[in-house]
Amino acid sequence: MSQELTLQQRLEACAGPDPLHRAVKDAVAALAQASIEISDLTSRGALAGITGQARGRNTDGDVQKDLDVRADDIIRAALGRLPIGVLASEEMADLDILDANAPISIAFDPLDGSSNINTNMSVGTIFSIMPTTADPSATFTQPGSAQLAAGFVVYGPQTSLVLTIGHGVDIFTLDRDSREYKLTGSMVQIPPDANEFAINSSNRRHWDAPVRSYIEECVMGAEGPCGKDFNMRWIGSLVAEAFRILVRGGIFLYPSDGRRGYEEGRLRLVYEAHPMAFIVEQAGGGAITGRTRILDISPASLHQRVPLIMGSIKNVQRVEHMHSQPEVALEANAPLFGHRGLFRI
Ligand code: AFP
């Protein structure tokens, strides 16, 4: 009989008598329950009618897959039984202002990585819990540092829930027999210096100089200024990249680039970058746009995009240095690197 602490037990122990903390506890428990239902669907794929078929486009123009919509419905149903101030979802154009007197509000990406669904790759759910503001419509204009909790679920070989309520990061793994999440990683820390980077290298010609020079350095490996070889990963699923970084370190980059519509990158601030940044910082890592700390940013709009560079603190600091010292970036982009690096200029 396994003795691991369950998510419910952990939440009860952390919540105490404080009404705000108990509201957070109830919301996380409801999101966890919804994620078990979504996990069931993703694990059955086509047998559950999940084919990755496009069902139209969401407000931001992203292709909406069948599971995006079903996951959004499941999460809304699970939260519907709770007092929630404002709900915000990647799949909905505007905020849902539900109960202005409720202490907490939730923003979520019901299914991140949905372009992977029919290729059997890991996908996930991301959520951010904020205090509801006096004017509820302003709740998700608060900086990321105002978050009360953040988490994500990876529907992969294991279904794992990663959670912070501001006192470190815990990882819970779904026990399919008892249908409970059990604590499998407590106070997780990201290794401060790593040799693995994740970026979609097909966009190299669109990157700004600092990102190009950082990746060039990584590709130069032991022959370059880093003095060590790097490995590369790109799964195309933020939750999978984030989980790997929590477990073994590394750096993830989805920078701004020159493509139309990608001037601020691809990822959304409110329900992707803010929660990921809270988790990564709580695990000792860093999360920046290149020049700005993600948690310091106050959104101007609900579906605002933001460049996201996060992971092992020393690697993130190197990228930040390159953004603050343009001459460093320009030098690293000199022809010498171009002829010796992976990418020919
Ligand atoms: P989808 O949800 O449309 O699959 O997008 C996933 C994502 O937002 C993020 O999870 C990935 O890291 C990133 O997009 C992959 O983007 P590219 O397809 O441009 O590499």
pLDDT per residue, tens digit, the chain (345 aa), is: 457 899 999 999 988 889 999 999 999 999 999 999 999 999 998 888 777 666 666 666 666 667 888 999 999 999 998 999 999 999 899 999 999 999 999 999 999 998 888 899 999 999 999 999 999 999 999 999 999 999 999 999 999 999 999 999 999 999 999 999 999 999 999 999 999 999 999 999 999 999 999 999 999 999 999 999 999 999 999 999 999 999 999 999 999 999 999 999 999 999 999 999 999 999 999 999 999 999 999 999 999 999 999 999 999 999 999 999 867 665 555 554 445 444 554
* Ligand 1 site, CB within 6 A: 62, 112-115, 200, 236-238, 254, 266-267
d(CA 212, CA 220): 12
What would the two tokens of residue 187 be? 């106070």
Going by CA atoms, what residue is nearest to atom 13 of ligand 1? 236
Closest CA to 323 of 240, 214, 231: 214
Task: Name the packing angle between helices 209-220 and 313-324 (round to 10°).
Answer: 130
What is the distance between the alpha carbons of residues 174 and 322, in angstroms, rounded to a whole number? 41
196-328: CATH topology is D-Maltodextrin-Binding Protein; domain 2 (3.40.190)
Query: Mutation test of ligand 1: which of 69, 238, 253, 262 has the most ligand atoms closer than 8 Å to its C-beta?
Result: 238
User: In sequence order, what are the residues at sequence separation of 6 or more whose Cβ sits closer than 8 angstroms to the Cβ of residue 251?
Assistant: 194, 196, 197, 198, 245, 309, 310, 311, 312, 315, 316, 319
State residue 10's pLDDT score.
94
Q: How far is the CA of 235 from the centre of ligand 1 (A)?
A: 9
C-alpha 167: how far from chain center: 18
Give strand ranges (E) for the chain. 54-57, 63-65, 86-89, 96-97, 104-112, 123-131, 149-155, 159-164, 169-175, 180-185, 196-198, 231-233, 251-254, 286-288, 308-311
**Alpha helices, DSSP H, located in 221-325:** 238-248, 274-282, 313-324
The pLDDT value recorded for residue 61 is 62
| pLDDT value at residue 48 | 80
CATH superfamily of 7-185: Fructose-1,6-Bisphosphatase, subunit A, domain 1 (3.30.540.10)
Q: Is 174 helix (H, G, I), strand (E, B) or coil?
A: strand
Q: Other CB atoms closer than 10 Å to residue 99's CB: what's the count? A: 14
Structure tokens at 310: 């996060």
DSSP 38-83: HHHHHHHGGGGT----EEEE-TTSPEEEHHHHHHHHHHHHHHTTS-
Residue 3 DSSP code:
-
How far out from the chain centre does Cα 89 lie? 14
**How many A from CA of 115 to the centre of ligand 1?**
7
Say how far apart CA 263 and CA 256 lie, in whole Å: 5
C-alpha of 192 from chain center: 19
- Return the active site residues: 62, 68, 90-91, 109, 111-112, 272
pTM for the predicted model, two decimal places: 0.93
Between helix 66-79 and helix 19-44 the angle, nearest 10°, is 150
Adjacent-strand bridge partners of 104: 131
Per-domain residue ranges for the chain? 7-185, 196-328
